[in-house]
């Protein structure tokens, strides 16, 4: 069995090829000088991607290091395009990007979404030529508060397709391992979203339908993962160690 960690949202760069197409748009100045968030932000979807999600990138690197496996991370800003969405999804682009010319939107897809998804597909194909199973962990974060303003009850969400027995069993094993390793860490399955919603892992399940592919989204509450304290590293290291425990036959794949 092999492991692969990916991160859709941890980047903060703009492709050089997009600087000219975006040069004379309001979006470009907003990307370079993002506005400060309001004191009372609007309540939005709990899994909505923030403009900058460096916490997801940090967490993905820490988990991949602890597990000793490959990491493929999108280096570009999540507000350019949601690389996890299917091409016709209504939230593929943010409203300010949807207002841009069609040619500019196509250039964003060509520079950001297509290379990222192609790299993951190639890497999974390569791993599946050498291993009977591959566990693909897509690392993201979610909002600390609900739409109504209350605090989220979970610390870690494991999103999977419950109709796929291997994914269900793997997530159950990981939940148990995390409980024994860190009982205070609240791990919830298919919360705050569902593993069957439109996502990169759902797309990869369709692509690798005839082979042993497990696609799991590991979503982390920004209430704790956004705090650069020693406890954060301890939790991420515990998550990585637990992943290793439930995937004992995984061979290190780090390049």
For the chain, domains (ranges, CATH) are 2-246 (3.40.630.40)
Q: Tokens representing 219? A: 């979503």
Burial of 61 (0-12, 13-18, 19+ CB in 10 A): middle
d(CA 97, CA 41): 21
- What pLDDT band is residue 52 in, cutting at 50, 70 and 90? confident
d(CA 177, CA 243): 8
Of the candidates 217, 86, 244, 242, which has an alpha carbon nearest to the alpha carbon of residue 160? Answer: 217
Dmax over CA atoms of the chain, in Å, equals 54
pTM: 0.88
Q: Tokens representing 148? A: 């109504």
**48 HSE (CA, 13 A, CB side):** 17
How far are the Cα atoms of 150, 239, 240, 242, 249 from residue 245, in angstroms, in the given order?
A: 34, 10, 9, 5, 9
pLDDT, tens only, 113-123: 999 999 999 99
Q: Where do the H-state alpha helices sit in 47-162?
A: 54-67, 95-98, 102-108, 114-130
The mean pLDDT of the chain is: 88
Residue 44 has what pLDDT? 47
Of the candidates 156, 132, 148, which has an alpha carbon nearest to the alpha carbon of residue 208? Answer: 132
Residue 251 has what pLDDT? 55
Residue 24 has what pLDDT? 72
Residue 154 has pLDDT above 50, yes or no: yes
More confident site: 12 or 122: 122
d(CA 191, CA 46): 10
For the chain, strand residue ranges (E) read 2-7, 70-73, 133-142, 156-159, 187-189, 212-221
Residue 111 has what pLDDT? 97
**Three-state DSSP state, 147:** coil
Residue 151 has what pLDDT? 75
Residue 41 has pLDDT above 50, yes or no: no
């Amino acid at each position: 069995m092999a492991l692969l960690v990916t991160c859709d949202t941890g980047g903060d760069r703009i492709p050089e090829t997009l600087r000219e197409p975006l040069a004379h748009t309001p979006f470009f100045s907003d990307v370079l000088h993002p506005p400060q968030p309001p004191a009372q932000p609007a309540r939005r979807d709990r899994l909505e991607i923030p403009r900058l999600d460096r916490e997801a990138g940090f967490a993905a690197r820490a988990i991949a290091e602890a597990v000793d496996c490959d990491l493929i991370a999108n280096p570009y800003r999540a507000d350019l395009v949601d690389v996890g969405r299917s091409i016709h999804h209504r939230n593929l682009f943010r409203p300010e990007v949807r207002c841009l010319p069609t040619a500019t939107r196509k250039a964003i897809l060509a520079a950001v979404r297509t290379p990222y998804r192609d790299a993951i597909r190639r890497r999974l194909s390569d791993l599946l030529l050498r291993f009977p199973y591959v566990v693909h962990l897509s690392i993201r974060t979610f909002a600390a508060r609900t739409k109504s303003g209350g605090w989220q009850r979970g610390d870690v969400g494991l999103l999977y397709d419950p109709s796929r027995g291997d994914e269900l069993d793997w997530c159950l094993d990981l939940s148990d391992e995390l409980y024994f390793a860190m009982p205070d860490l609240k791990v919830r399955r298919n919360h705050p979203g569902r593993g069957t919603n439109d996502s990169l892992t759902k797309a990869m399940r369709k692509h690798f339908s005839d082979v042993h592919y497990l696609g799991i989204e590991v979503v982390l509450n920004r209430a704790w993962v956004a705090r650069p304290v020693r406890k954060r590293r301890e939790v991420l290291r515990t998550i990585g160690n637990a992943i290793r425990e439930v995937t004992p036959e995984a061979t290190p794949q780090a390049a």
